[in-house]
């Protein structure tokens, strides 16, 4: 009796965007106010592109970006490493949405108005008053998007330029961890996180925070001095 070989796992590769201007300015940068990468962020993405061109380690079948300017700019910088592959924009892979009222607010003003946020306990707490997502809503959005992408591109290599929060939500979704508590991730800008997602059974974390291509670069841009 012959036994069919299992279908190849889907490679889901998440690339956190390069350092952003909103990070340097210390403001909450949702998709409405994000204005792309800092100079260091562009250098980080260029380093990653050169690595991917030299190694050929990610023969991507699909290239996706969230709808944030910093993710799109990262994806466009690395896209030549994938030949003539088109870039698809998927807003579902965007970072935790602070809502229209708080998008663009400085971190200092946020803490003065609402206090230091508690990311580790209640996933249904109102983190961004005025229309922002709760942690539960954010994780539900990202988890549903990841499941749909893997089904739609089964057996392929999917590369997604996204965000630290999306990496966290995807890891918790695919590895079946709760949405809050247990651990905290510190995902590096322009790092590679990869999962192998089989047709049935649990996914595997292949690598996390792979950022060897950034050796020698500063870890961050110094924030501008206050006026």
173, 146 Cβ separation under 8 angstroms:
yes
Size of the chain in residues: 227
pLDDT for 182 equals 86
CA dihedral 83, 89, 93, 94 (to 10 degrees): 120
Helices (runs of H) and strands (runs of E) counted in the chain: 6, 6
Superfamily name with CATH number, domain 10-213: Phosphoglycerate mutase-like (3.40.50.1240)
pLDDT for 200 equals 87
Tell me the C-alpha to C-alpha distance, in Å, between residue 152 and each of 146, 169, 195: 10, 20, 16
HEC secondary structure over 39-104:
HHHHHHHHHHHHHHHHHCCCCCCEEEECCCHHHHHHHHHHHHHHCCCCEEECHHHCCCCCCCCCCC
pLDDT for 101 equals 96
217, 38 Cβ separation under 8 angstroms:
no
Give the relative orientation of helices 135-152 and 164-174 as an angle to the nearest 10 degrees.
70
Tens place of pLDDT per residue across the chain (227 aa): 454 556 789 999 999 999 999 999 999 999 999 999 999 999 999 999 999 999 999 999 999 999 999 999 999 999 999 999 999 999 999 999 999 999 999 999 999 999 998 888 999 999 999 999 999 999 999 999 999 999 999 999 999 999 999 999 999 999 999 999 888 899 999 999 999 999 888 999 999 999 999 999 999 998 665 55
Residue 146 tokens, joined: 């990841």
203, 195 Cβ separation under 8 angstroms:
yes
pLDDT for 147 equals 97
| Nearest CA among 76, 121, 129, 82 for reference residue 102 | 129
pLDDT for 8 equals 87
The H-assigned helical ranges of the chain are 21-25, 39-55, 69-78, 107-114, 135-152, 164-174
Rounded (5°) CA angle 193-196-200: 145
Neighbouring CB atoms inside 10 A of 118's CB total: 11
pLDDT for 225 equals 55
Residue 142 tokens, joined: 């990202």
């Amino acid at each position: 009796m012959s036994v069919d070989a299992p279908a190849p796992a889907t490679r889901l590769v998440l690339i956190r965007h390069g350092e952003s201007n909103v990070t340097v300015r210390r403001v909450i940068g949702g998709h409405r106010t994000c204005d792309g990468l800092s100079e260091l962020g562009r250098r980080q993405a260029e380093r990653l592109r050169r690595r991917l061109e030299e190694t050929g380690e990610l023969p991507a079948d699909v290239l996706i970006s969230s709808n944030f300017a910093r993710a799109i700019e990262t994806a466009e910088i690395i896209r030549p490493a994938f030949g003539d592959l088109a870039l698809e924009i998927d807003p579902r892979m965007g970072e935790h949405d602070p809502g229209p009222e708080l998008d663009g607010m400085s971190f200092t003003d946020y803490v003065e108005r609402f206090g230091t946020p508690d990311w580790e306990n209640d996933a249904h707490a109102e983190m961004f008053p005025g229309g922002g997502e709760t942690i539960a809503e954010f994780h539900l959005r990202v988890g549903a998007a990841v499941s749909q992408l893997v089904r739609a591109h089964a057996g392929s290599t999917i590369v997604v330029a996204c965000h630290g929060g999306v990496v966290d939500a995807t890891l918790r979704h695919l590895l079946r961890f709760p949405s809050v508590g247990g651990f905290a991730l510190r995902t590096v800008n322009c790092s590679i996180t990869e999962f192998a997602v089989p047709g049935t059974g649990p996914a595997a974390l292949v690598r996390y925070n792979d950022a060897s291509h950034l050796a020698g670069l500063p870890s961050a841009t110094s924030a501008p001095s206050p006026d």
